[in-house]
Structure 1
């Protein structure tokens, strides 16, 4: 895909071409401050030390209201090829993290552990068509498709439908909607409602959520003259999961602080990394496979400093040939976490993206036990 798409429930930003490309996010932010760029769009990687995929586009259109695709072409069949790591290895990693987090001598309090599935399409996937299916299935999500070429990955595309807003800035007002604490949805309405109530009352999930909110408050306090944060989280639902969510609103101290500045200040949050952030980041990089742009950020920022950045979760990276796609799911681990429950959480999150595709073998068993219909070497 040669371009950028971010479709939120309130508006759609499309951009094509590149007057300039930036693999360093701070250079892109400086270009906005120095009036050398009128608009920056693209994606930030999970690890801020890795190359970004940002551009000043040649053309951009911002329309109000939700995206309603005019057509919804059928997608080719997609088959699960492999897991990375296997379900058993993910459980073992989580168990090791729980042991470390429970050690009173450890400075770590939370680490987000992730896993991925590699799937293959019978014929090349069109990123625009995949995005159209995602927005149709998840109309309240923030759907994105981003060219990763500026990060040295020509032809690769980041696709997703995230419920989480990292930060939005319009004038002096900023809004955030961090998520942390998750359980899967249940088919029975009464059991599902009980599951949601249990999530809201869960001390483990409340602890996980509090780490995120406390960190965001600490980061934003110096740049805001007002900061409105509710005393406790509320429930947010998607077709696959329940989340704990806290809507946050603030007023900037300095109008020169842009949406991209704020995204760089906040990313990565404890919601997708851990606490303390730098130690959790090192732990993830040292034990996990490369996350790439999963749990990074996607968004835009204009010359006035306004913009929107969403957290790149419920997403996948599509290869340049359009056939290999790696989807990601993760969960926050604290000392009270149960490894098998954490595996189930990643499965539910993987379904958010994969249920939008024509996956031929998306059974609970295949996701949990790592059954591999066939083996073959593929580029993710």
Structure 2
């Protein structure tokens, strides 16, 4: 039985601490520092650097990895396009590797097919809360001297072969956007064991300030009160997280296990309902992998049941609605027309025709995926949705078997 609040008194307590500090310069960034320290500890990492969102963290990871204009970065097309957009932010080229039709995840085999002399990094995505086979991807990356960045925006607290997801790549990025396991309304954080990457992540996301590093998030009064102080030693972005967001994220972090367990429990309910349905195929979880179920996803046999008809009937019966998978990144208008805010004029993308990209498995899956909500924090709400889903399946079963 579970019955919890998405945001508790703990988060409110930490927010009050920030507000009670009156935003004085002496108190600024203290909560961010606490969040970073505790997040690194929770995930077994040497460093954590908090930022404004999970797209900024990916952008900074690419900059820290030394990705240059025109370099290629491999990523999956079946995910929120922020992953590919971060690559554009770094003036690099997204190269899309296909996914597995059963797990919906990028694979080492498909990554290998698109590696070129220009490839600098791989961004893996733990889609819906399930990580791809990271050991295989890491081995391939090592052979080709590539940096591995884990995009774990949808995956908190999952394991693979007993190892925490987030500890495989050179860097791992997380999101605190409102729909995620842990939320601050917005925000992101990135972890790494590399001192060099941590220093660059901090400096590049903090306006290129000289006095900050992986272990130091703010400059001191003694620094900035000197007229001779050289502040900016390199170009940087202003991606720093605010203390108010950090306060909420810290409270959520301390409650991470219960917040993640809710989604796992709801996913178990879904599995019990769809297990006997011949025209629904859940995301396959290979042995040794643990799923954290940001959402529960099935591939629908649309030759038997129309996607829109199923969704409409589910809502008609009282269901909360079903999310579709995102358009594949390379199918979005931005990529098809290269509307890259004048980056398309730099010559970097001339040789790339995104209209001709073909990832067959991803294209097969995208119009078939049904993404069911798992963020029901009161068990009775989840139970009611399961009844509606069962009723909807039974309704279409009669048509399929007629």
User: What is the TM-score of this pair, normalised by structure 2?
Assistant: 0.24
More helix by share: 2
- Structure with more relative contact order (C-alpha pairs < 8 Å, separation 6 or more): 1
- Could you state the TM-score of these two structures normalised by the residue count of structure 1? 0.25
Higher strand share: 1
Structure exhibiting the larger radius of gyration computed from Cα positions = 2
